[in-house]
Structure 1
C-alpha cells in the first residue's frame, strides 16, 4: 500500500472522480441540454412542429450564438459537478455499509456441507446497487433542486427576453421574492420519482462491468494484478457498458423528465397545469403518449456523449488519483 492509498479514502476518491466527471461532461454537452430543455417545454398545439434543428437555428441566429448555446451554464455546472461528486461519495459509503450488512455474521460461524468455511460476500447484487443509487439520488435531489429550478428557467429563455433571469443569482433572488422557499422546490416530487433513472442505470452498469471483468478473467487475459488490485476498465468497455446502461435507464424513465421540465419552467401552473397529475393530464390530453417522450431523440444524442465523457473521466480519475504518488 502506497502513501496515496493511506491518505485517500475510497469515498474521497469517488468524490474527486465524480467532481471531475460532472464538470467535464457539463462543459462538453451543455448546448444539447439547452435544446433538450426547450423541446421538453414545447406544447404541440401549432401546425408547425418544433424540432431540435429549428431550436438550434434560432439559437445560432442570435447576436451572441455562443452565449445563447451556453445560456444557464453556471447553475448547470454547479448542479452537475456537485451532484456527481456528492452522489459518488454517498454511493460509495452506502455500498460499503450494504456489504458490511450482508457480512454482519462472521463467515467462520457457517460451514458448508463438506466442512469448509463459507467465505464472506465480496460483491453486491443489482438490487443493492439500485438501493445505494436510489438513496444517494434522493439526498442529491433534496440538496440541489433549487439549482435545477433556476437552470431550467434559464435554459428555456433567451437572455434579455421578458422575464428572463440575468444570472443564476438574479434568478435565485427573483424566485425567493416572488415564490418564497417553495419556489425552489418546484418539481421535487417528480425529481424524486426520477431517482429511479440513476438507480436503474447503476443497477445495470455495475453488474455489466463486473460481468465483463469475469469474462476477461475466463479468457485468461487477467483483470487482477499480482497485488490483487483490479485493473483499470478499458476505455472501449467503458463506452459500451455505460452507453448501454444509460440508454436502457433513459428510455424507461424519460417521461418524468418532460413532466419535471414543465413543472419547473416559468408560469408552470398557467401553461401546463397544477402538480404532477395536472401536467401529466395536460400532456396526455393534448399530445397523447408521444408527449411524454418529447425530446427523447435529442436526449439520446445528448446523454450518450455526456455519459461517455462522464464515465471515461470517472473511471480514469478513480483509477489514477490513488496512484499519483505511488
Structure 2
C-alpha cells in the first residue's frame, strides 16, 4: 500500500469505485439491457423473427417510451451498483490475502531486480485473479439473486400488462406470496456457473494491466519510481477492458440465455424445468444458435457498459484517496 492510500483502506477505495462504476454504467445502457433481456426470452417458433430493432420500435411506440426504455431501472440500478461495490470490496481483500499467502510460501517471488521487496498486485498470476474474482462473484450471486429475478421479470414485460409488476416492491411481494423464498433464487444455480464470466474477465483484465504497466516502466523508467503508473490512461483502459469483456462474453454467453429463461414469468411452463430442461428445449427447438440469442445486442450493450464501468472505476479509485489528502 502506498502513501496515497494511507487514509482510506484499499478495500474501501475499491468499494467506492465499484459503486460509482456500477451506477454510471447502469444509467448509461439500461435501455439496451431491456432489449437484450426480451431477446433472450424469445422462442424461435414464430414465422416472423424478432430482432433488436423490432423490440426497440415497439418500446418507442408505447404511450410512455422513456418509461418503457427504463422499465425495471430500480432493481437493475440497485443490483448493479451494490454488486460492483461489494465485488470490488471482496476482490481487494482476497487478492491481499493471496499476496500474503504467496509471500509466506515463496518470499523470493516478491524480490525485485534491484533487491527491494514489493507487495504489488503485479505479482499475482492470472489464476490468482480468476480465483479472487470467482469467490467474490459467488458471494455477490448469493446475496443479489433476488434482485436479478425481479429485474428480469420487469424488463421482460410492459408496465400495465397482465401479471406485470408495478414496482420492485410489488414484485417482491408477489414472488414471496406465490413462490415463497425459492422464487427469489430462480436461476441461482446457473448464475453461480456464470461467475466464470467475471472470473475469466478479470483473469484477462488484470494481467493485461500489469503487462501495460511493465511496458510503460521500460519506456519511461523515470516514472516507474513515482505514482503515475498506478492509474491507467483512458485509452489503455478502453482497450484492455474491452478486450477482456469480449473474451469473457464470447466464452460464457450461453449461461445468460438460460438464466434469463429460468428467471422470467412462468418459466417452467414456457421454457422447461431447471438448467437441463431449459438447455434441452433450446437445443431441440432452436439448435446451437438459441444459446446465442441476443449476442449481437449484448456485445453492443456490454462494450459501452464495460468502458463506462472501468473508466469510472479506474479514475475514482485513483482520485478518491487524493481528494482525502487535500482536505
CA-CA distance at 1:229 after TM superposition: 6.1
Q: Partner of 2:127 in structure 1?
A: 127
Q: Partner of 1:316 in structure 2?
A: 315
Question: Aligned ranges for residues 241-252 of structure 1 at < 5 Å?
Answer: 241-252=240-251
Q: Partner of 1:302 in structure 2?
A: 301
Between the aligned partners of 1:27 and 1:218, the Cα distance in structure 2 is 39
**Structure 1 length-normalised TM:** 0.94
Unaligned runs of 5+ in 2: none
Between the aligned partners of 1:223 and 1:32, the Cα distance in structure 2 is 41
CA-CA distance at 1:222 after TM superposition: 5.2
Runs of 4+ more than 6 Å apart: 1-4
Q: Partner of 1:263 in structure 2?
A: 262
SS, match of residue 251 in structure 1: helix
Q: Partner of 2:7 in structure 1?
A: 7
Q: Partner of 2:166 in structure 1?
A: 166
Which structure has greater helix proportion? 2
SS, match of residue 195 in structure 2: helix
Q: Partner of 1:273 in structure 2?
A: 272
Q: Tell me if the contact between 1:107 and 1:120 (Cα under 8 Å) persists in the aligned partners.
A: no
- What does the per-residue CA deviation read over 1:119-145, in whole Å, with 9 as the maximum and x for residues that have no partner? 566410000000000000000000000
Q: Partner of 2:83 in structure 1?
A: 83
Q: Compared with structure 1, are the counterparts of its residues 45 and 104 closer, same or farther at alpha carbon in structure 2 (3 Å cutoff)?
A: same
1:232 and 2:256 equivalent? no
Q: Tell me if the contact between 2:150 and 2:171 (Cα under 8 Å) persists in the aligned partners.
A: yes
Unaligned runs of 5+ in 1: none
SS, match of residue 172 in structure 1: helix
SS, match of residue 103 in structure 1: helix
Between the aligned partners of 1:104 and 1:93, the Cα distance in structure 2 is 17
**Structure 2 length-normalised TM:** 0.94
Question: Aligned ranges for residues 142-221 of structure 1 at < 5 Å?
Answer: 142-220=142-220
Q: Partner of 1:254 in structure 2?
A: 253
Between the aligned partners of 1:251 and 1:207, the Cα distance in structure 2 is 19
RMSD: 2.2
CA-CA distance at 1:196 after TM superposition: 0.1
Between the aligned partners of 2:205 and 2:99, the Cα distance in structure 1 is 18
Between the aligned partners of 2:182 and 2:188, the Cα distance in structure 1 is 10
